[in-house]
Amino acid sequence: MKPTRMNKTTALQALTSAALAIPGLAAAEVQTEYLYAHYQEADLPASKGVGQSSERYEINSHRFRLTSPLGEATAALNLTLESMSGASPWYIMPDANGKLTQIMSGASISEERADVEATLAYPVGDVQVAVSLGYSKEDDYEAVNGGAEFEHTPEGQAYSFSGGIGYSYDRLEPTVGRSSLDVIRKADRDSLNVYGGVSFILGPQTVLQTSLGYALGDGYLSDPYKRAYIQSQTDHIPDNRPGERSSWTASARLRHYVAPLGAALHADYRYYDDEWEVTAHTLDIAWHQTFADTWRLTPSLRYYSQSQAYFYAPFYQNVRADGLASSDYRLSPYGALSLRLDLRKAIGAWELGGGIERYEASADYALESVKVENPGLVEYLALSFKLAYRF
């Protein structure tokens, strides 16, 4: 008998938690999770907003997840149910002194969103592969998406490669504002995204992942519920964005275990750049502190800053020559700061937890100085509750 060598799911599985982005690969057990989140946007102060209703969005989300081993593979099923209500920014009107007023959408929108996603992860030789399919449905919006990801750790090495490709087909059919002639009836878009990365073990307590991503959106990329004010016409026109948007991201994720304190430090950074001239920086720092073995407290801080899209303006003097228009706060220049605190407690096979997040967007937080702040910038509070069980 000849000595044999076998190389299978070594580092990958032993290191799943440290080296992998594909979820659930190490799950040798059936696991269920439930997450409830309540999201509440702060109402605009009277000085900024007018409209029949300035009560902003409130969302209740229920997320369920089931992970199970299936022979050599691992299957995961995700279900999301959300109910949303509230008014959203419609357009911005300047007064005689140039002071901006956010006009909110008239009717308070109330709708539901359901989203299902199934993922199957399995080994192909010594590469772990995961494929996923998803479907999302709202009154006025429908999306089908699919994707594939892989992860590979060369034998005996301290680094892993990972990558993925995803596609989504989205169709929208606005329900509000149908009476207006200039509001679209139906539209659709395709989105494609790819990423590739390498993670390195830098030390017995440190891992770093660096990656590059590319995304392309093609089709109707405007917001049918938003409009832009044209001063010379004293009227507003539909939000109108280019039909194509390609973007690049460069990201780094660092994990460092601080052994003397029994805590893990997470530092994530992402640089974003797109065809609409938006550049953005995101820095997310989290401290995962374990105590008494079964408790974990995680304070985290997220900083975000973006520049504006080239065609964005809070309002326009005249219609642009290229016809583009958007006063959406999401394309405006601003920065955002988010503070979070999450607590988890394991009791046998159960895990229980809760968390709070406060997010505030402001022109003052932007990296570059902002001349005019969009009055519709969002501020929200999100509370979450989590329950998980491992069979």
Partner 1 sequence: MSKAWVSGVLLCLLTAAAPAAAPMAVPAGVQVAPPVWAPQADGTPTGLRDLRGQVVLVDFWASWCAPCLQSLPQLEQWYQTLRARGFTVLAVNVDTDRAKALAFLKRKPVTFPVVYDPEGWWPEQYGVGGMPASYVVDGQGKLRAVHSGYNEKDLPRIRQEIEALLSERGNAQ
Partner 2 sequence: MKQLITASGMLLLLALTGCVPVKAWERGDLARPEMAFEPDPMLAGYRRHVEFSKEAASGGPVLSGGGCGCN
Which string of b and e fits 146-161 if b means at least 16 CB within 10 Å?
A: ebebbbbbeeeeebbb
Q: Structure tokens of 255? A: 């994990």
Query: Which segment (4-12, 34-42, 139-147, 295-303) binds partner 1 by CB under 8 A?
Result: 4-12
Q: How far apart are CA 250 and CA 211, in angstroms?
A: 6
Residue 317, φ and ψ in degrees, nearest 5: -65, -55
Work out whether 156 is an interface residue with partner 1 (CB under 8 A).
Answer: yes
The CB-of-367 to partner 2 minimum distance in angstroms stands at 6
Total residues at interface with partner 1 (CB under 8 A): 29
Question: Interface mask (CB under 8 A) for partner 1, residues 27-46, using x and -?
Answer: -x------------------
Q: How far apart are CA 305 and CA 369, in angstroms?
A: 11
Pick the stretch among 93-101, 121-129, 232-240, 248-256 that binds partner 2 (CB under 8 A): 248-256
The residues in 190-219 that bind partner 1, with binding defined as CB under 8 A, are 200-203
- Contact assessment for residue 26 and residue 263, using Cβ atoms and an 8 Å cutoff: no
Q: Which helix (H) or strand (E) holds 10?
A: helix 10-14
Distance CA 326, CA 240 (A): 6
Nearer to partner 1, 159 or 220 (CB): 159
Residue 16 engages partner 2 in binding (rule: CB under 8 A): yes
- Residue 11 contacts partner 1 per CB under 8 A: yes
**Using CB under 8 A, which of 43, 55, 274, 275 touches partner 2?**
274
Cβ of residue 181: shortest distance to partner 2, in angstroms? 21
Which residue is associated with the tokens 């891992």?
207
What is the x/- site pattern for partner 2, positions 139-158, by CB under 8 A? -xx-xxx-x-x------x-x
Q: In whole angstroms, how close is the CB of 338 to partner 1 at the nearest point?
A: 29
Residues 281-320 that bind partner 2 (CB under 8 A): 281-283, 288, 290, 296, 304, 306, 309
Q: 71 - beta bridge partners?
A: none
Report the residue from 118, 251, 343, 345 that binds partner 2 according to the rule CB under 8 A. Answer: 251
Joined together, the tokens standing for residue 250 give 């460069």
Of these, 38, 70, 110, 155, which contacts partner 1 (CB under 8 A)? 155
322 near partner 1 (CB under 8 A): no
Of the candidates 373, 314, 316, the one whose C-alpha atom is nearest the C-alpha of residue 103 is: 314
The smaller minimum CB distance to partner 2, of residues 73 and 367, is found at 367
Asked if 6 touches partner 1 (CB under 8 A), the answer is yes
264 is in the binding site of which of partner 2, partner 1, none (Cβ under 5 to 8 A by kind)?
partner 2
Task: Give residues with Cβ within 8 angstroms of 93, minimum separation 6.
Answer: 100, 101, 103, 229, 315
Residues 59-78 that bind partner 1 (CB under 8 A): 71-72
Q: Cβ atoms within 10 A of the Cβ of 321, count?
A: 6
Query: Strands 159-172 and 89-94: what pairing?
Result: unpaired
Measure Cα distances from 234 to 92, 207, 279, 367, 383 in Å.
12, 57, 32, 33, 41
**Strand pairing report for 109-124 and 31-41:** unpaired
Instruction: Kindly identify the residues of this chain, within the stretch 80-139, that bind partner 1 according to CB under 8 A.
Output: 123
CB hemisphere CA count around 227 (13 angstroms)? 21
362 binds, among partner 2, partner 1, none (CB under 5 to 8 A by kind): none
Does residue 292 belong to the site contacting partner 1 (CB under 8 A)? no
Restricting to residues 65-104, name those near partner 2 by CB under 8 A: 65, 78, 84, 88-89
Residue 181 interacting with partner 1 (CB under 8 A): no
Length of the chain: 391
Closest approach, Cβ 45 to partner 2, in A, equals 19
Q: Which residues bind partner 1 (CB under 8 A)?
A: 1-11, 13-14, 16-17, 26, 28, 71-72, 123, 155-159, 200-203
